[in-house]
């Protein structure tokens, strides 16, 4: 059976740990010709420069070749071809498909249609599992463990797919605590809170971004995205509410790290960048190793 | 009114010799039930009555299909819109078996995903849901992973 990665919950805890182990291996030795002679399709039905470059770097470091498109304007989708037909055609050519699509569920559907494995590089507001795995690798690397983490999630917790997936994945580990800091309109959806309650995991909700962050091991910042709001007035009200500044980090724990899936707009002030607790650029670098690990695992190369 | 007269009135929707009677269908969903079961495309004799008095449902509908016996998986498809439906299996004018409908654990087709950004609403794909709660109904889309709740359910034509 082929191993697709569509949703973070497709993997077991053992698989999370396996990816972490492989990512560390690729970090120590990034250039390994495991994909030599293989062709990987990189299909971006929606532009995402950061994710695409990270994936394509990972594929290049593994010695694979890439076909595909970086935005839908240069693909046959603009001629009205269905996703079904594009995937059918591309899976005849490539050994692996990496895809980003604006519609939710597109990756799951592609995986059903395709005989070769599919890795989801983001499907609308639904899932972006490789981001979650690189977030986990960043936590493991900086904290030495994925157990007993006090994780603060800040900003758009309602629509932010990265925080939802990270919550699901981290709830598989020992004794996590979650703290959610968000305005009323962007609070963590009920379904994720229920998930924590069922597992007996503690969580706390706050609307103020104050010195409560002194208890954090991880501060996960998110961008409040304009396109998620139907009412522009609502967006203007909340966009500047939660901004992290260097002065706020004075009383935080020495081990705390600030993560952000990037791109940021203004939610992390540039004066934080020089603080050693800022980790978001290293986090992006970890993305390449984690994606090498995911590709190797998906294609049974290691 | 004599019992005999009552009985005759009751039989206004005529009795069948062999087949299935589906009773306790909410009147407003009669035509959806007909369409889900494909009764609009078969050649069996079918009689139905609608807007009949029902204490439980207010207005109910009843369908009698001659010479047709449904498989459980076929009939359970109507559970979403007629959860209290009861089936009487008729042989030689007698009720030989009674059945109730049950909501299946997965639902393929029939229901639309409520999420307009779901791939199933943008391309020709049969929907598929996992039933995560029956009362009130909650369906999780296999594709976009969003939950369609009972009040959001709409049925394909």
What average pLDDT does the segment A199-218 reach? 95
| pTM of the model as a whole | 0.88
Tens of pLDDT, residues A23-51:
999 999 999 999 999 999 999 999 999 99
In a shared domain, residues A143 and A276: yes
Q: Can you tell me whether residue B79 is helix, strand or coil?
A: helix
- Examine residue A82 and state whether it is found in any structural domain, yes or no: yes
User: For domain B106-155, which architecture applies?
Assistant: Roll (2.30)
Q: The sheet that has A202-206: what strands, in order across it?
A: A202-206, A177-181, A150-154, A218-221, A257-259
Q: Inform me whether the pLDDT recorded for A91 exceeds 90.
A: yes
Residues A134 and A278 in one domain: yes
Of B19, B50, B18, which is closest to residue B34 (Cα–Cα)?
A: B50
CB spacing of B115 vs A84 below 8 angstroms: no
Average pLDDT over residues A207-227: 91
Domain with CATH 3.30.70.140 in chain B: 16-100
Q: Where are the alpha helices (DSSP H) in B29-93?
A: 30-36, 72-75
Q: What is the pLDDT of residues A140-151, one digit of tens each?
A: 999 999 999 999
- One domain for residues A96 and A150: no
- Chain A CB contacts of B122 under 8 Å are 103
Task: State how far the alpha carbon of B82 is from the alpha carbons of B21, B31, B32, B95, B102, in Å.
Answer: 14, 11, 10, 21, 10
Straight-line distance from the first to the last Cα atom of chain A, in angstroms, rounded to the nearest whole number: 16
Contacts of B143 in chain A (CB under 8 A): 104-106, 108-109
Domain identity same for A138 and A269: yes
Say yes or no: A154 and A269 in one domain.
yes
pLDDT of residue B1: 57
Question: Do A122 and A145 fall within a single domain?
Answer: no
Count residue pairs from A and B with Cβ separation < 8 A: 52
pLDDT of residue A225: 80
* Nearest-angstrom CA–CA distance, B48 and B60: 11
pLDDT given for residue A65 in this prediction: 98
Surface of B (118-147) touching A: CB under 8 A:
118-120, 122-125, 141-147
Question: So what's the pLDDT on residue B13?
Answer: 61
Q: Do strands B111-112 and B128-134 pair parallel, antiparallel, or not at all (unpaired)?
A: unpaired
| Between residues A34 and A263, the one the model is more confident about | A34
pLDDT in tens, B82-121: 989 999 999 999 999 999 999 999 999 889 999 999 999 9
Q: Where in chain B is the domain with CATH 2.30.30.20?
A: 106-155
**Token pair recorded at residue A48:** 């995402």
Q: Does A72 touch chain B (CB under 8 A)?
A: no
CB A126 within 8 A of CB A146: no
- Give A128→chain B minimum CA distance, Å: 12
| Pair (A60, A153) in one structural domain | no
Nearest to A82 among B115, B123, B146 (CB): B123
Q: What is the dihedral angle through the alpha carbons of A50, A171, A14, A56, rounded to the nearest 10 degrees?
A: 0
Please list the active-site residues of A: 50-51, 79, 100, 128
Are A212 and A246 within one domain? yes
pLDDT in tens, A166-202: 999 999 999 999 999 998 889 999 989 999 999 999 9
- Total domains in the fold of chain A: 2
- What pLDDT is attached to residue B74? 87
Same domain as A148, residue A74: no
Average of per-residue pLDDT across A50-69: 97
H helix intervals, chain A: 13-28, 49-61, 83-93, 106-113, 129-143, 161-170, 190-198, 232-238, 280-298
Do A207 and A262 lie in one domain? The reply is yes
Q: Do A105 and B143 touch (CB under 8 A)?
A: yes
Which of A65, A99, A127 is where one domain is finished? A127
The arithmetic mean of pLDDT across residues A50-67, rounded, is 97
The CATH number of domain B16-100 is 3.30.70.140: yes
pLDDT averaged over every residue in chain A: 94
What tokens appear for B68 in the block? 């047709």
pLDDT of residue B146: 93
**pLDDT for the residue numbered A73:** 81
pLDDT confidence of residue A224 = 85
What is residue B32's three-state secondary structure?
Answer: helix
Within this chain, do residues A143 and A229 fall inside the same structural domain, yes or no?
yes
Is residue A25, in this structure, part of any structural domain at all?
no
Whether the CB-CB separation of B114 and B148 falls below 8 Å is answered with: yes
Q: Which domain holds residue A35?
A: 31-127
CATH number at residue A60: 3.40.50.1370
**Same structural domain, A241 and A120:** no
DSSP letters for B122-134:
TSS---EEEEEEE
Report A:205-264 residues touching B (Cβ under 8 A): none
Q: Is A24 a domain residue?
A: no
A142 occurs within a structural domain: yes
What token pair was written down for A19?
């990816």
ipTM over 0.85: yes
Euclidean distance between CA atoms A100 and A271, whole angstroms = 33
**Segments of chain B scoring below 70 in pLDDT:** 1-14, 157
pLDDT tens, position by position, A269-291: 999 999 999 999 999 999 999 99
CB contact under 8 A, A109 and B119: yes
């Amino acid at each position: 059976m082929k191993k697709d990665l569509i949703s973070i919950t497709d993997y077991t805890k053992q698989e999370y740990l396996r990816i972490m182990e492989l990512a560390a291996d690729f970090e120590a030795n990034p250039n390994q010709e495991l994909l030599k002679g293989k062709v990987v399709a990189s299909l971006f039905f929606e532009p995402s420069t950061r994710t695409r470059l990270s994936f394509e770097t990972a594929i290049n470091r593994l010695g694979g070749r890439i076909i595909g498109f970086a935005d839908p304007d240069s693909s046959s989708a603009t001629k009205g071809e269905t996703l079904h037909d594009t995937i059918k055609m591309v899976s005849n050519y490539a050994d692996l498909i990496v895809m980003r699509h604006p519609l939710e569920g597109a990756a799951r559907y592609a995986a059903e249609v395709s005989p070769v494995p599919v890795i989801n590089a983001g499907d609308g507001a639904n899932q972006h599992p490789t981001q979650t795995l690189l977030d986990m690798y960043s936590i493991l690397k900086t904290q030495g463990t994925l157990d007993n983490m006090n994780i603060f999630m800040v900003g758009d917790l309602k629509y932010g797919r990265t925080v939802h997936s990270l919550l699901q994945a981290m709830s598989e580990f020992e004794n996590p605590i979650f703290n959610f800091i968000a305005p009323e309109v962007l609070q963590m959806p009920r379904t994720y809170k229920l998930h924590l309650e069922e597992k007996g995991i503690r969580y706390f909700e706050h609307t103020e971004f104050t010195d409560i962050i002194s208890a954090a091991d991880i501060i996960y910042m998110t961008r409040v995205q304009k396109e998620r709001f139907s009412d522009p007035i609502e967006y203007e009200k909340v966009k500047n509410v939660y901004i992290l500044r260097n002065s706020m980090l004075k009383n935080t724990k020495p081990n705390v790290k600030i993560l952000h899936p990037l791109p940021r707009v203004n939610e992390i002030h540039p004066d934080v960048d020089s603080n050693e607790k800022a980790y978001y650029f290293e986090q992006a670098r970890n993305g390449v190793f984690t994606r090498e690990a995911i590709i190797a695992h998906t294609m049974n190369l290691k | 009114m004599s019992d005999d007269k009552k009985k005759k009135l009751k039989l206004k929707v005529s009795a069948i010799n062999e087949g299935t009677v589906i009773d306790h269908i909410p009147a407003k969903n009669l035509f959806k039930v007909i369409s889900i079961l494909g009764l609009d495309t078969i050649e069996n004799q079918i009689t139905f009555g609608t807007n009949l008095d029902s204490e439980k449902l207010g207005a109910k509908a009843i369908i009698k299909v001659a010479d047709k016996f449904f498989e459980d998986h076929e009939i359970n498809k109507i559970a979403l819109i007629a959860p209290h439906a009861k089936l009487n299996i008729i042989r030689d004018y007698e009720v030989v078996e009674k059945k109730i409908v049950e909501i299946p654990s997965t639902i393929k087709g029939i229901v639309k995903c409520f999420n307009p950004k779901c791939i199933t609403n943008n391309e020709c794909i049969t929907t598929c849901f996992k039933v995560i709660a029956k009362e009130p109904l909650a369906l999780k889309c296999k594709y976009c992973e969003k939950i369609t709740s009972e009040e959001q359910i709409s049925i394909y034509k």
